[in-house]
Structure 1
Amino acid sequence: MIRQLKNLDMTFKHVRLFTAVLIPACMMFAGFCIYYCLKKVYVLANGKAILATVSSHRENIPVEASDHIRAFHESFFICPQ
């Protein structure tokens, strides 16, 4: 019985050590992923790479409206062949 308790105690020590190593490793991996994802983002438009920036919705309304009108005219007035 004493031998089984020693074996059980050693098992808990190994699990505790494994957990103590795994949690910091996961945190470091998550930190690296967040750091890597915060780099610059480029969008490919008409063969040109354009840097994507964050802007408010109000600033985008004129651009979105003109794009919607252009897309409507292309879809409605140009006959598919």
Structure 2
Amino acid sequence: MFKQFKNIDTAFRHIKTFSIVFLGATTLLCGFVIYKSHETVERILSSIWVIVDNRPIQAKIAARKDNLEVEARRHVTEFHRLFFTLDPDEKAITSTITKALYLADENAKRQYDNLRESGYYSGLISGNISQRITIDSIRLDMRSEPYAFRCYATQQLIRSSGTLIRILTTTGTLHNVARTDNNPHGFIIRRWETLENRDKTQ
């Protein structure tokens, strides 16, 4: 009879051990399946399909930090292009400057007001002068926000008698803000100032 109890006790221990091992293996398997499922979903969600000329092209979604420097450089370029590329037309000047002012703070607005009051834009219109800008280089310090930048550019003032070349250097800082239709890169330029704006010597 004791031998029978001993056999029952041994069998119970074996069943208990088997149950624990089985439960542990099942838990590990479930964890692995959940992990792989999550990984697969993340991979699927990180790619999108774009239709170009009726052909689907796969594109990858990247975190903003992966493209932060590229977007910052593009923001600075776009602001300077809008602020300094002007045609001798009052409505065109107002339109491009308005777009530029969405990308910067009151320092840019103050500089625009100063130029307008000094008759700069009127001079462009009356002299039938077009102004173009080429960004030569942008130096960025992306180590911490606000991100300091320095922009080196060349201006062309195109008139019927010839083209005047000017050297332009500006500086400022970039701060993160919410993206909008008027500010797609999600930055605003603060403390913007012109360090140099002189005629290029031959």
TM-score, reference length from structure 1: 0.51
Gaps of 5+ in 1: 53-81
Q: Which residue of 2 aligns with 1:20?
A: 20
Gaps of 5+ in 2: 62-202
2-structure distance, mates of 1:36, 1:47? 27
Matched AA of 1:17:
T
Higher strand fraction (1 or 2)? 2
Question: What is the aligned length?
Answer: 52
Higher helix fraction (1 or 2)? 1
Matched AA of 1:12:
F
Matched AA of 1:6:
K
Q: Which residue of 1 aligns with 2:38?
A: 38
Q: Which residue of 2 aligns with 1:10?
A: 10
Query: CA deviation digits over 1:15-68, x for unaligned, max 9?
Result: 01011111111111101001000121268896654669xxxxxxxxxxxxxxxx
**7-16 or 38-47, larger mean C-alpha shift:** 38-47
Q: Secondary structure, in 3 states, of the residue corresponding to 1:38?
A: helix
Matched AA of 2:15:
V
Runs of 4+ in 1 over 3 A off after TM superposition: 42-52
Higher relative contact order (CA 8 A, sep 6+): 2
- Please report the RMSD computed on the Cα atoms of aligned residues, expressed in angstroms: 2.5
Structure 2 CA distance for partners of 1:32 and 1:8, relative to 1, 3 Å: same
2-structure distance, mates of 1:7, 1:43? 63
Q: Secondary structure, in 3 states, of the residue corresponding to 2:28?
A: helix
Identity, in percent, stands at: 27
1-structure distance, mates of 2:13, 2:30? 26
1-structure distance, mates of 2:60, 2:14? 49
Q: Which residue of 1 aligns with 2:70?
A: none
